[in-house]
Amino acid sequence: MKAERGATVMAVASGKGGVGKTTVAVNLTVALTRLNHRVALLDADFGLGNVDVFLGLAPERHIGHLLAGDATLAEILIQGPGGAQIVPASSGLQSLTSLTSGQRHVLASAFEKLCANLDFLLIDTASGISDNVIETMLLAGRVMLVTSVEPAAIVDAYATAKVLHSAASSMEIGIVVNNARTPEDATLAFKQLDAAARRFLGRGLKYYGYVSEDPAVRDAVLVQKAIVDHMPQSPASRCFRVLAARIAGLGPVRGSGLRLATDAGRVIPASEVPQCA
Ligand SMILES: Nc1ncnc2c1ncn2[C@@H]1O[C@H](COP(=O)(O)OP(=O)(O)OP(=O)(O)O)[C@@H](O)[C@H]1O
Ligand SMILES: [Mg+2]
């Protein structure tokens, strides 16, 4: 992929916590580097980041130092597997759970610099639909919503899609169903989400794909490696490679610049809740 085409900026979000955002972001990052793409992963779970832990990295500085003006972007970037560049978040810094507009501008201009030499910038976000999370998603050109097949995760993914749609209706929203027992289960979860979005938001969602439920994912977390490196032939690793190839084939979308989130659409009436079979 050529530099002049610009980097694809993709935020990985979910609504519900614990559905596998960081797992997907980390493994997609590594899988994309194995396809010879230049990739960076920004840990935007600013207060409780753990990308570094997933990858066994020990950064000395993090995004908090950049936002405070105590370090440059180059000084906080660390090398991850396959040459991926990692922008670590802080852990336990509550001041970063709600960024000021000045900090958002520092972040946006750091993005610009980073993207100049990249094919992909992935952004791992925190759970929930706080302003911080929504505004971070709005920095991206595409949002990947990760859900499981569980009704609560599907409902929260829809809530996130709704808030995002009301803030930026042209934003591409793609769905990844994680922890799926079968491809059919994953397709069904996607169809429920897509049907709710078509009916109530007047738009469809993209199906990026699924990741199998795989005990090896937890084993990889324990040895602090991406599963695509640790157990490349495991079912989840195969899914991550398929997902990476699909994402790479979508073509670049430029970061959409700093936009402000709105509160519109945060309350989901019962009639809009996606039907979970
Ligand atoms: N496909 C999978 N198969 C089995 N276990 C998985 C799978 N995906 C994720 N997990 C496990 O689920 C747990 C939560 O994953 P992860 O931390 O990636 O979620 P998250 O959405 O980033 O959470 P948070 O909202 O706290 O940031 C981890 O223990 C991880 O190993
Ligand atoms: Mg996470």
Is there a domain that residue 169 lies in? yes
Local confidence band at 263 (pLDDT 50, 70, 90 cut-offs):
very low
pLDDT of 176 strictly over 70: yes
Q: Which of 23, 147, 237 to mutate to test the pocket of ligand 1 (most atoms within 8 A of CB)?
A: 23
For range 150-157, the mean pLDDT: 96
Is there a domain that residue 263 lies in? no
For range 133-137, the mean pLDDT: 88
Is there a domain that residue 257 lies in? no
pTM score: 0.91
pLDDT of 277 strictly over 50: no
Count of structural domains, the chain: 1
Atom of ligand 1 nearest to the CA of 18: 23
pLDDT in tens, 2-26: 334 578 999 999 999 999 999 999 9
Dihedral sign from CA coordinates of 139, 165, 242, 235: positive
Is there a domain that residue 212 lies in? yes
Local confidence band at 177 (pLDDT 50, 70, 90 cut-offs):
very high
* DSSP class of 19: S
What pLDDT score does 113 carry? 84
105 or 35, greater pLDDT: 35
What pLDDT score does 271 carry? 65
Is there a domain that residue 271 lies in? no
Highest mean pLDDT among 97-101, 105-109, 159-163: 159-163
Q: How far apart, in whole angstroms, are the C-alpha atoms of residue 120 and residue 117?
A: 9
What pLDDT score does 92 carry? 64
pLDDT of 254 strictly over 70: no
Which element (helix H / strand E) includes 167?
helix 151-167
Q: How far apart, in whole angstroms, are the C-alpha atoms of residue 33 and residue 271?
A: 43
Is there a domain that residue 264 lies in? no
Nearest CA to ligand 1 atom 8: 20
What pLDDT score does 268 carry? 55
| Percent of all residues in the chain with a pLDDT value above 90, rounded to a whole number | 67
Name the nearest CA neighbour of 34 among 77, 79, 78, 84.
84
Q: Decide whether any atom of ligand 1 lies within 6 Å of the 179 Cβ.
A: yes
What pLDDT score does 233 carry? 97
Q: Decide whether any atom of ligand 1 lies within 6 Å of the 199 Cβ.
A: no
Domain holding 81, by residue range, is: 3-250
What pLDDT score does 260 carry? 34
Residue 121 and residue 7 in contact, taking contact as beta carbons nearer than 8 Å: yes
Is there a domain that residue 66 lies in? yes
Is there a domain that residue 265 lies in? no
Local confidence band at 171 (pLDDT 50, 70, 90 cut-offs):
very high
- Indicate the residue type of 74: A
Local confidence band at 1 (pLDDT 50, 70, 90 cut-offs):
very low
Domain CATH code at residue 142:
3.40.50.300
